[in-house]
Amino acid sequence: MQNFEGQAVPKVHPATRPIEPEDPMNLHGYEVPGDPDLMLRILIEEFARLGFDLPQIVQLCRDPFYQGLHGLWLKFGEEESQRRISAVLARCGVIRTTSATFVESEGLVQLTLGERAEGGGRHARGL
């Protein structure tokens, strides 16, 4: 058996290593072969589980920031994409949650309810 002790490359967390010109740390997207219909259904279901409804998902589709979703939107076209989004949402629905906050002060309990259906972060609201 060979002994490789002392020959291993030291582990360095990416956040702590220096930035080098040859390693710009940019994200790059690439097209890969696959089923565009399946990919669209998966993305719609994911956003529906995050609380996005039809108008919010359509807004994301139109935004080039969401490259995969936007590319599928361009591939299928506006009408067909909306039809497909509606069909997926009819099948799986949109997850809606309600949060409750209990605050006890001087023997009294205050209950605050709030619906959390905004769906996603700042990009979904167009900020």
Give dist(CA 44, CA 52) in Å, integer: 9
Q: Is residue 11 included in any domain, yes or no?
A: no
Q: How many domains does the chain have?
A: 1
Q: Is residue 78 included in any domain, yes or no?
A: yes
Task: Evaluate whether 85 touches 73 at the Cβ level (below 8 Å).
Answer: no
Q: Is residue 104 included in any domain, yes or no?
A: yes
Q: Is residue 94 included in any domain, yes or no?
A: yes
Q: Is residue 80 included in any domain, yes or no?
A: yes
Q: Is residue 90 included in any domain, yes or no?
A: yes
Q: Is residue 100 included in any domain, yes or no?
A: yes
Nearest by Cα to 68 from 34, 91, 94: 34
Q: Is residue 91 included in any domain, yes or no?
A: yes
What is the pLDDT tens value at each position of the chain, 127 positions in all? 566 566 777 787 877 877 777 776 676 667 778 999 999 999 999 999 999 999 999 999 999 989 889 999 999 999 999 999 999 999 998 887 777 777 777 777 776 666 544 444 434 434 3
Q: Kindly list the distances between the CA atom of residue 89 and the CA atoms of 45, 86, 114, 120, in Å, as whole numbers in the listed order.
A: 7, 5, 23, 16
